[in-house]
Structure 1
Amino acid sequence: MKEIQFEQIEQAIYNAINEAACSLNQFTLNKIKLARKSENNKIACGILDDIIKNDTLASKEMIPMCQDTGIVVVFAKIGYDIHFNCDLYDAINSGVSKAYNDFYLRKSVADPLSRINTKDNTPAIVHTVFTKGDMLELTIALKGAGSENMSKLKMLNPTDGYEGITDFVIETIKEAGGRPCPPLFVGIGIGGDFEKCALLAKEALMQEDNSQNEEIKRLEETILNKINSLNIGPMGLGGNTTAFAVFIKTAPCHIASLPVAVNIQCHANRHVKVVL
Structure 2
Amino acid sequence: MIKSADPSLMKAVSLSTCRAFLEAEIRLPGDIRRAISAARDAETDTIARGELQNILTNIDRAEEMKLPICQDTGVPVVYITLPPEIPLDQGLYDAVAEGVRQATAAVPMRPNVVTPLGRENSRDNTGAGMPAIHVRPGSRFTITVLPKGAGAENMSRIAMLLPSHKDRIARFVVETMLIAGGKPCPPVVLGVGIGSTFDGVAALAKEALLEPVDTMSGFERELCDAVNELGIGPMGLGGKTTCLAVKVKTAGCHTASLPVAVNVQCWACRRATVEVVL
TM-score by length of 2: 0.93
1:26 corresponds in structure 2 to 30
In the TM superposition, residue 103 of structure 1 has moved relative to its aligned partner by 2.7
Correspondence 1:102-251 to 2 at 5 A: 102-122=106-126, 123-131=130-138, 133=139, 135-161=140-166, 163-209=167-213, 217-251=217-251
Kept in 2, the 8 Å contact 1:210–1:220? The answer is no
Correspondence 1:36-55 to 2 at 5 A: 36-55=40-59
Q: State the AA in 1 paired with 2:77.
A: V
Kept in 1, the 8 Å contact 2:21–2:103? The answer is yes
1:86/1:6 CA distance change after superposition, 3 Å: farther
Q: State the AA in 2 paired with 1:97.
A: R
Kept in 1, the 8 Å contact 2:193–2:205? The answer is yes
Q: State the AA in 2 paired with 1:248.
A: V
Give the structure with the larger strand fraction. Answer: 1
Kept in 1, the 8 Å contact 2:111–2:124? The answer is yes
Query: Pick from 71, 87, 94: which aligns with 2:98?
Result: 94
Secondary structure of the 2:253 match is coil
Query: Are residue 14 (structure 1) and residue 7 (structure 2) matched?
Result: no
1:58 corresponds in structure 2 to 62
Instruction: After superposition, give the CA deviation of every residue in 1:16-41 in whole Å (9 maximum; x if it has no partner).
Output: 11111111111111111111111111
Q: Which runs of 4+ in 1 moved over 2 A?
A: 1-4, 81-86, 209-212
Kept in 1, the 8 Å contact 2:177–2:227? The answer is yes
Q: 1:143 and 1:84 mapped to 2: Cα distance? A: 25
Secondary structure of the 1:142 match is coil
Kept in 2, the 8 Å contact 1:231–1:238? The answer is yes
Q: 1:38 and 1:144 mapped to 2: Cα distance? A: 27
In the TM superposition, residue 97 of structure 1 has moved relative to its aligned partner by 0.5
Q: 2:163 and 2:191 mapped to 1: Cα distance? A: 20
Q: Which runs of 5+ in 2 are unaligned?
A: none
Q: 1:65 and 1:262 mapped to 2: Cα distance? A: 24
Q: 2:84 and 2:75 mapped to 1: Cα distance? A: 28
Q: State the AA in 1 paired with 2:38.
A: L
Q: 1:181 and 1:29 mapped to 2: Cα distance? A: 15
Q: State the AA in 2 paired with 1:187.
A: G
In the TM superposition, residue 55 of structure 1 has moved relative to its aligned partner by 0.7
Q: 2:32 and 2:143 mapped to 1: Cα distance? A: 19
TM-score by length of 1: 0.93
1:256 corresponds in structure 2 to 256
Q: Which runs of 5+ in 1 are unaligned?
A: none
In the TM superposition, residue 65 of structure 1 has moved relative to its aligned partner by 1.3
Secondary structure of the 1:5 match is helix
Number of residue pairs the alignment of both structures matches: 269
Q: State the AA in 2 paired with 1:260.
A: V
Greater shift after overlay, 93-102 or 47-56? 93-102
Compute the RMSD of aligned alpha carbons: 1.7
Q: 2:136 and 2:24 mapped to 1: Cα distance? A: 22
2:265 corresponds in structure 1 to 265
Kept in 2, the 8 Å contact 1:77–1:136? The answer is yes
In the TM superposition, residue 83 of structure 1 has moved relative to its aligned partner by 4.2
Q: State the AA in 2 paired with 1:243.
A: C
